A and B are shown apart, each in its own frame.
Chain A
Amino acid sequence: MAVIMAGFVDFEITWRKDVFSGAPQSGSAADFGTLGINFRARKPRTEAEWHAALKALNCEIPLAASEVK
């Protein structure tokens, strides 16, 4: 969300991997479930394109069928 808020669209995490295990010194990466990631995004062509992405962030998440009484 922070990436979209900063002025981007089409945010996507494409890869994640434990890149800290086996490092020479022990650290706290495992304590927090820390993974290496790759992500990409794109600067929109227009303000309108960005505003549409912001609007999509604010959409309501529909209830799952099991939650409907």
Chain B
Amino acid sequence: MKANAIQVEDVGLNLDELREAIQEEYEAVAAEPQRGFHFHTGRPLARLLDYKAEWLAGIPEAAVESFAGTGNPFSLGEIKPGERVVDIGCGAGIDSLIAARMVGSEGQVIGVDMTPAMLNKARRAANEAGLESVIFRQGYGEELPVADEWADVVISNGVLNLMPDKDAGLKEMARVLKPNGRLQIGDILVQKEVPQSAKQKIDLWTG
């Protein structure tokens, strides 16, 4: 965690305040998904990101409506029955539930998120869908509550860019993957250099 503090302090931000601001933003996405944010959400976003209708069929609306991803991890490779998947920054659980259906009863999915309101929605959605192969744990991307070399696949969607220490987040992804395990990530690419003054604005980190 010291590396996090150094990176965030480098741009004049406090790590705890930054995480609190990100949590507040995503608590709002959990509680009021229709409110309107500076990113798309829900089913329209899933269509924009080319999610197949068959993946979304049977996924409870509570998980779909708070979806706030930026890409499509499932377009990057097949997730097979019996595999173990970690979903980092799972939010209300849409990708974890889709993955749970792909891995079936012989596989396992662990969804990790730092926002309790999102985890509550995700757990309720998993119960509603009757999916027992998925569990949800509270934690940070830089300190995953997952054993070494547990996963066949790590997925994440629109979350790496929110992590204060992206290098630590990537190293955690490598730690929890088995050798030859796959990383399938949706995130963002910033094509223009972000000035230091913009990096100091918490609202630019939270979206």
Contact = CB atoms under 8 A, between A and B. Distances in A.
Contacts, number: 127
Given A20-B40, A41-B183, A36 B198 contact: no
B166 A38 contact: no
A36 B70 contact: yes
A67 B69 CA distance: 43
B189 interface: yes
Contacts of A5: 167, 170
Given A14-B76, A23-B39, A40-B182, A6 B190 contact: no
Nearest to B149: A43
Contacts of B70: 19, 36-37
Contact of B183 (A17, A28, A29, A42): A42
Q: Which 3 A-B pairs have the closest CB atoms?
A: A24-B36, A27-B38, A33-B191
Interface of A: 2-3, 5-8, 13-17, 19-20, 22-29, 31-46
Contact of B76 (A40, A43, A44): A40
Interface residues of B, number: 44
A16 B186 CA distance: 10
Contact of A34 (B48, B76, B178, B189): B189
Interface in B158-179: 158, 166-167, 170-171, 173-175, 177-179
11 contacts: A5-B167, A19-B40, A24-B36, A24-B38, A27-B207, A29-B39, A36-B158, A38-B73, A39-B76, A42-B180, A42-B182
Contact of B191 (A20, A34, A44): A34
Given A23-B40, A27-B38, A40 B184 contact: yes
A29 B186 CA distance: 16
B200 to A, nearest CB: 13
Contact of B49 (A13, A19, A41, A45): A19
Contact of A6 (B36, B40, B170): B170
A13 B182 CA distance: 14
Contact of A15 (B35, B40, B75): B75
Contact of B75 (A3, A14, A26): A14
Given A19-B49, A29-B38, A34 B186 contact: no
